[in-house]
Structure 1
């Protein structure tokens, strides 16, 4: 909040427009008052609270897509839907003209109403983009037709002009789409915005689906990725002593037989082979050719201003175009200093000092220029706009992240996520797979998004005395997976989703039989089994009910559950024959008859070594103890009686613990 006050103070002095300056000054005084009173800022007065209109702009535009394009084939309809998302995203980040500019352009319009909406936009949408202390709302979520009518004409002209200027930066497919289809889309939308009887602005708007057509599904939020719910590179971190300012199944072996792998197969190949009902690679490759062929795909490429693009998509595109660069730099005492690197280090020191005002400037300078520390610098237009300062401890197997920040006017663009992804790939190349850093309560959410956890797997003896401790902060760890290309991860996941979507479409096309709708719900039935839906099995659906119980996702939770269960089994009166491996001196032929011996002592060792990555492995070993006993001993022996009793006991405990169905 202190940094926000400083930024607003600078904005008040720099702003030339009178109306905007007044709003900045009001927000400056509001935040200053909140700091003194240690309270949360609330915008008061006659502005009201969001949302200001219903239906909002997003609802109206999506209604427009359904109203105008629901009769089109799915691919063309999806194209229009993508154009609508692109338009909504542009509106969310578009800077509105000031009331004085609006007055000169539209003398006959209601200037007073626009001034109120402009003030609301500044307080709730625009200023909070750079001031994290203020609650932020999307323009398209809180405003409706009134504001859109005021700004659409000029926004449309500026938007199309911007695309025309930047057309050379676009690939041919995007250029055709934006310069040809987008203007037509906006013209049709304009008719509905200014039309007196347009139904898209009605609260109860509905449009019947055309025969055989399915309306485009709406997302919960149009720009959830471009504007995360928690601010990136939150400046709230600077209010603490933390040194960080941030951007915002294992196959089950058969109990009685050990399957051998062909020598030509790796473990990963074997895992793929064991997946039942897997998609043939030939089909996957065919789908890949479809989704990567521009001639076979209609609609804009979602990486271009997509409302559902990943957080780092914009940064990744800018890197490909050469707009931004990443360099690992550091000071050196053994080599002659490079002037450019020294200038970048000074720039990094300034960025860290500005974004971390509570950290002593001398301390930041000392670490940035310390030869033992390196910094991954983010360069744009030849100057530093962000970076991550870190120190590697190769002998200890981890790296300490010391500072991380992006300059305030370059935030909310995904630079922080892309910066961290580059740092991960850099460390994978150097075979260091653990990050350690301290974060305060405001940074924990960001770190979790980047794969950090409060669960520290690095032994304390390895980092104690090596890393810098910060009072009031939480130590967090990130374990890197060397098989993941982090800078392309979101793009890979997006491609996987597209493949699955196309596979579903192909499956739907193969199913030609149309079943009548279900009538049981009209008769009062609330729920029916999925398998009773006519034709459901023909789609390839398979029931999941045969899987006993739900698998525990958290490895530590699974470990603790199995540890407690094994302890109870070992203390059971009937467990004595199975506590240790069978001695060959007592049963010479035992290991000739029993191919896969197991006992509770061996299970305890396996548990300690984290062998039981799934409950199935654990249950299989328990059952093998019983099976081996029955195979070697007569049914009426004391050993078999103990086995029968113990079997009932541990299955009761498995049900009680929720590891299998009751």
Structure 2
């Protein structure tokens, strides 16, 4: 009928650490036990004579969408939230919820006249799917008109309260709307005119600009609105819209079983024993014992991953004073300090300078299980014991940016900052890390 508005989903702060991960309405979850050690314990209990196995598989991880949906499903099961089918049938509870929807639509859709919103909500040909909290407060909803003879519905309004956005409610709300429209109203298509701000939301919910519905089924029923984009969504007759995660898990398990036949990426090697050498002198005077040094090749799984012993790094560093130095531990530390300072001074690095606040991104630490931020990187660098190579430092920075891009939508400023930081890192490395072999060849070419 007219422009439908998405739930505004301005994604939460980025992907640094202390997303999903990402999160719920609680403090970040505590670190889980190592899955590899759990499997190893189970194996040892069942086969005490065989000893610990060399390697153990772990389950395939679930994605951010699955974790969000599972969290909301738990909230539904506990009664914290409810998705209610609402229409103007004269029942007091439905009238109260319709008025709650009117308040939200009026605030979130300021270009819509309030009288127009109220008229459509109370129209008996319209249905609504309302997101309702335990205390009865309406948090969001979708309103659509049913055309039973045409087997379609037209979405009129779609909005979530500003205080409840960035929590996955918009997607869950649309999934419930599809299920209700199919099972209760027996329609198989949704049409809507989406304004520019809502096109992205509807696209993520399965809507497309390509209209496959025959024109004679909707022309004359759906009014044309200037400035709106007509979008269509086919409602599948069998898809479990309110329990898609179960279907995804079955698909993931099958794909993972096929991948494991071709790859060992799922294998978890046993951890390293915690060995320490005693400090000299009486035990009561020791501050701590010294860790036992070990070669990289002695770490379980390193050789299996393709690592081989090599000499010194085949590159050199160009420091801030334009001097080119070998990749010694001291020079590496100096170079990494300069690189981190350059990243921190970058205007687009502001989302990464401190850990993500769980009060702003409630589910971040449920989704992002390995958070990284510049404060953490600085601490690791200051210890002088963590970054043994340039590759380890670069991996942390890339992980920081990848977390941000995984948690936030591509259209958000956080995602764009992550891309710019990654591009800056690549350009910095290209300009300041030189191949030692290439430098040795240049004098030979000059002599020839």
- Give me the TM-score of the superposition, normalised by structure 1: 0.32
- Give me the TM-score of the superposition, normalised by structure 2: 0.46
Bigger RCO of structures 1 and 2 (CA < 8 A, at least 6 apart): 2
Q: Name the structure with the higher strand share.
A: 2
Q: Name the structure with the higher helix share.
A: 1
